[in-house]
Amino acid sequence: MKKIFLPLILVTLALFAYDFGSIPEKKFSEIKKDKPLMVMVGKTECIWCESMAPALKEISEEYPETNIYYVNTDHDVLGAINNNIMELPVQIFYDAEGKEVFRNLGYINKEKILEYLEEYNVLVK
pLDDT (tens, 9 = 90+) of the chain, 125 residues, equals 556 665 655 555 455 456 788 899 999 999 999 999 999 999 988 999 999 999 999 999 999 999 999 999 999 999 999 999 999 999 999 999 999 999 999 999 999 999 999 999 999 99
Cα gap 81→85, rounded to integer Å: 6
In the chain, where do the E strands start and end?
A: 37-42, 68-72, 90-94, 100-105
Q: Rounded to 5 degrees, what are φ and ψ at 103?
A: -135, 125
Residue 21 near residue 105, CB atoms below 8 Å: no
The domains of the chain, with CATH numbers, are 18-119 (3.40.30.10)
Of 22, 30, 45, 36, the closest CA to residue 102 belongs to 36
Q: Which strands form 68-72's sheet, in the order they lie side by side?
A: 68-72, 37-42, 90-94, 100-105
- pTM of the predicted model as reported, rounded to 2 decimal places: 0.85
